[in-house]
């Protein structure tokens, strides 16, 4: 572990990742989503797909811990259970796909997924029907497959819930808890495949401190009356992060 710590501290661009982790936590704290879409493009560009996802997951896992209790009070727990059950089935398949693709292809796919998600949300997609169990299960399965393959399970969840007519407080809490539980699942799948790298774990631990700080600041800033402003800010930050990670800038 000392060798892993020394190697992690010597990682080129670590200071930039610390800053991005702070911003990612801030976005998640006030919007309830988007942390992975902000941090992962930068982490994957600097560390590679598997190491980048691992570091992002460790940092992302720690970030929402201080606000989990409040989220448990607000979330739609029945839907949360359905999402997680479907994700647990599909996630190993997504990870298997990830291990087959070239890193450059992964980065293009990640940026494309993030930008398509933004396009759907900014375009004013609204789902006015009921969130039926089959729809929720299907969304959870898509999220697990996408999360395993590209590292971001959020787009299907975010697209469904932010486009729905549920109260912002419930949506925010459900998404936050889902992403927290997903991170635990992903680490378990990586461990089962022998893909948990010591250096990536250490980098993730280093990024956790600014991520937690950002979450606390963002949660303190959250006001129901400013929901639209929060979403606009989150969309802009995610767009910049996704575009900056494209391999064509290398």
Please compute the mean of the pLDDT values over residues 152-165 and round it to a whole number.
78
**pLDDT (0 to 100) of residue 219:** 79
Q: 């006015």: which residue's tokens?
A: 128
CB distance 62 to 55 below 8 Å: no
Torsion, CA 107, CA 190, CA 13, CA 17, rounded to 10:
90
pLDDT tens, residue by residue, 78-118: 999 999 999 999 999 999 999 998 888 888 888 888 788 77
Rg of the chain on CA atoms, in Å: 17
CB distance 41 to 107 below 8 Å: yes
CB-count burial class (<10 Å; 0-12, 13-18, 19+) for 18? middle
Q: How far is CA 211 from CA 51, 56, 132, 142, 208, in A?
A: 18, 10, 34, 26, 5
pLDDT tens, residue by residue, 135-153: 999 999 999 999 999 888 8
3-state DSSP: the chain helix, strand, coil percent, rounded to 5?
A: 80, 0, 20
> What is the sign of the dihedral through the CA atoms of 174, 178, 179 and 184?
positive
Q: 């819930």: which residue's tokens?
A: 161
Task: Copy the structure tokens of residue 49.
Answer: 């797909």
167's CB contacts (< 8 A; 6+ apart) are none
pLDDT tens, residue by residue, 38-81: 888 889 888 989 999 999 999 888 767 778 888 889 898 999 99
CA 205/CA 213 separation, integer angstroms? 13
**pLDDT (0 to 100) of residue 137:** 96
When divided into structural domains, the chain yields a total of 1
Q: 């950002």: which residue's tokens?
A: 214
The domain of 188 spans: 2-249
Q: Which of 117, 94, 96 shows the shortest CA–CA distance to 41? A: 117
The secondary structure element, H or E, covering residue 152 is: none
Average of per-residue pLDDT values in the chain? 84
**pLDDT confidence band for 32 (50 / 70 / 90):** low
> What is the sign of the dihedral through the CA atoms of 187, 139, 119 and 130?
negative
């Amino acid at each position: 572990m000392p060798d892993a710590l020394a190697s992690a501290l010597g990682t080129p661009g670590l200071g930039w990742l610390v800053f991005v982790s702070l911003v990612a936590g801030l976005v998640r704290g006030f919007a309830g989503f988007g942390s992975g879409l902000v941090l992962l493009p930068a982490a994957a560009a600097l560390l590679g797909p598997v190491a980048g996802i691992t570091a992002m997951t460790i940092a992302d896992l720690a970030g929402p811990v201080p606000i989990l209790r409040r989220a448990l009070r607000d979330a739609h727990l029945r839907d949360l259970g359905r999402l997680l059950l479907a994700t647990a089935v599909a996630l190993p398949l997504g990870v298997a796909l990830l291990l087959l693709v070239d890193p450059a292809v992964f980065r293009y796919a990640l940026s494309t997924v993030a930008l398509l998600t933004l396009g759907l949300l900014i375009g004013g997609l609204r789902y006015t029907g009921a969130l039926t169990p089959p729809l929720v299960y299907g969304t959870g399965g898509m999220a697990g497959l996408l999360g395993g393959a590209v590292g971001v399970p959020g787009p299907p969840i975010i697209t469904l819930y932010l486009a729905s007519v549920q109260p912002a407080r419930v949506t925010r809490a459900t998404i936050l808890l889902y992403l927290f539980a997903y991170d635990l699942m992903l680490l378990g799948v990586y461990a089962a495949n022998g893909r948990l790298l010591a250096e990536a774990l250490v980098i993730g631990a280093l990024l956790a401190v600014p991520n937690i700080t950002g979450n606390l600041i963002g949660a303190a800033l959250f006001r129901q009356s400013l929901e639209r402003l929060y979403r606009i800010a989150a969309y802009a930050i995610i767009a910049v992060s996704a575009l900056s990670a494209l391999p064509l800038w290398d």
